[in-house]
Structure 1
Amino acid sequence: MTETNTKSGGSSLSKALTILKEVCCTNTPLRFADLVERSELPKATTHRILSTLTEEGLVRLDDHSQLYHPGYGLLELAHKAWSTLDIRDIAADQMRELWKETGETIHLAVLDRGDVIYIDKLESQKSLRLFSAVGKKGPVYCTGVGKALAAFLPEAQLQEIIATQSFIKHTETTLNSEEKLREDLIRIRKSGISLDLQEHEEGIQCAASTIFNYRNEPIAALSITAPAFRVDEDRFLHFQQRIKEACAEISSRMGAQPLTENQD
């Protein structure tokens, strides 16, 4: 392809995207004349682009009103895109930023029926031996990532998961009853932050938060994990803020809408 053709192709693509964005992002459907005016493109160019977008199913024209709407082909493309996304890839840069900033262990986990399973992990730059490993499972009721995911589940699904929990008391601070767990889940829903205060492993604490998909469903959780002896109150509060920010950024990439404050 020559340089001229490359520029022409790029220019054509840019024009088509301009038209498509106008159709999809407007609050009210637009007529042909509106699109010509908004895009500042010649009528012939606008007509050619709209014809192509309509043929591809990305735009549809209401014959009665002569208004342009987003096409159903966009839904098919979106479905295929979402189905091939790997949360590990989407979260990778945020995990690395947290790891570089804190020097502590960063976990990414998802639900697997009544457990959480760690699907990615960046090891602490300092000496630290933890229960977790990629592919290993952990209990929901006493891990930061587990509670972060459970907090935003529909009640029916949450009840199923709670029914599978052993509520074994691993440490003095383990939440060893459904009542205590539910109290903590209410706090997590309000704050957006899940804490493991040495509940699963003695001397180990973590701050976790939830990653949501485009349906605002909890699909994963991210955490910063560190030994309690080297994390004072101010540093732990910083961890909580940063993990919440990181999860919000990843959720945004997944198409999630921001949660309202004090959601319960």
Structure 2
Amino acid sequence: MEQNQDSTPVKSIARATKILRVLAEIGGSGGALGDVAKASGFGKTTTHRILAALSEEGFTYQDMATRRYHLGAGLGLLARSAAVNEIGTLAQPVLMRLAEETEDTAYIQVREGLRSVCLGREQGAFPIRTLSLNVGQSRPLGVGSGGLAILGSLAPTEVEAVIEANRRWLADYPTFSPEKISGLVRQTRAQGYAFVEGLMIPGINAVAVPIKDAGGRPVASLNITAIAERIHGDRALWLAGLLREEAQKLSAALLRSDR
């Protein structure tokens, strides 16, 4: 008999979230109970119980003809009420343009408290791919060019508070020590964009700019990542200018959508 591991509400929420992510990755074809259980790492009994609870709330549903599970409309309603979803929708054509024009990989990240979360990614045509960040992946704010662009646009006192609050998490990123991030923030402010050289992955550079809301607060960032030979000198400046233009357009689009 399968043991009941859902001993706390927090664990139950974590398991439900994992099931939702599995269904999101499976996509429109949906997933059979066994497939969802295998992908999530849970037993079939636990998976079925979680899916049933999510279905009651409208977050998932089962196609009676195929017996496969899908994400439900209730989840879409929640997503549409979230600002990050709106930014992600608006940014998709921007990412496509950036990837096409630069031939490199374009990302959008959003701020969620003390972290930055990758909301979208588009790959360019350049044969050497630099997929340094997956959609849905989070990092401490200030780690990587996208999070650095956001952090560098905050008030100095807030920057210090964020770095201090993330101190234990930053231990997982030795090339981004609190002292290193403080120096990178000063550099970002001085040059007007974030530039990271080989700190996340040796030989990989990245440039990023913030996306700001109507009040001038950074809510997200756009960045381009490529091998170091493609992001340096004049080309880095060109990329920063290109990103800045697109970020300003996104900021204006967010302002229009709020009215």
1:91-240 to structure 2, matched below 5 A, reads 91-125=91-125, 126-163=127-164, 164-165=166-167, 166-168=169-171, 174-178=175-179, 180-240=180-240
- Say if 1:148 and 1:208, in contact at 8 Å, map to a contact too: yes
- Say if 1:142 and 1:199, in contact at 8 Å, map to a contact too: no
Q: Which amino acid aligns with 1:193?
A: Y
Structure 2: runs of 5+ lacking an equivalent: 1-79
CA offsets, 1:141-170, max 9 Å, x none? 331001101112244543332011354596
Q: Which runs of 4+ in 1 moved over 6 A?
A: none
Deviation at 1:96, TM superposition (A): 1.6
CA distance in 2, matches of 1:187, 1:252: 26
Q: Which amino acid aligns with 2:122?
A: L
Structure 1: runs of 5+ lacking an equivalent: 1-79, 257-264
CA offsets, 1:52-90, max 9 Å, x none? xxxxxxxxxxxxxxxxxxxxxxxxxxxx99969700122
- Say if 2:130 and 2:227, in contact at 8 Å, map to a contact too: no
- Say if 2:130 and 2:225, in contact at 8 Å, map to a contact too: no
Which has the greater radius of gyration? 1
The DSSP-based 3-state class of the residue aligned with 1:255 is helix
> Among the aligned pairs, what percent are the same residue?
21
Q: Which amino acid aligns with 2:138?
A: K
CA distance in 2, matches of 1:84, 1:118: 10
Q: Which amino acid aligns with 2:226?
A: A
CA distance in 1, matches of 2:158, 2:115: 13
How many residue pairs get aligned? The number is 174
Which residue number in structure 1 is paired with residue 70 of structure 2? none
Deviation at 1:117, TM superposition (A): 1.1
- Say if 1:198 and 1:205, in contact at 8 Å, map to a contact too: yes
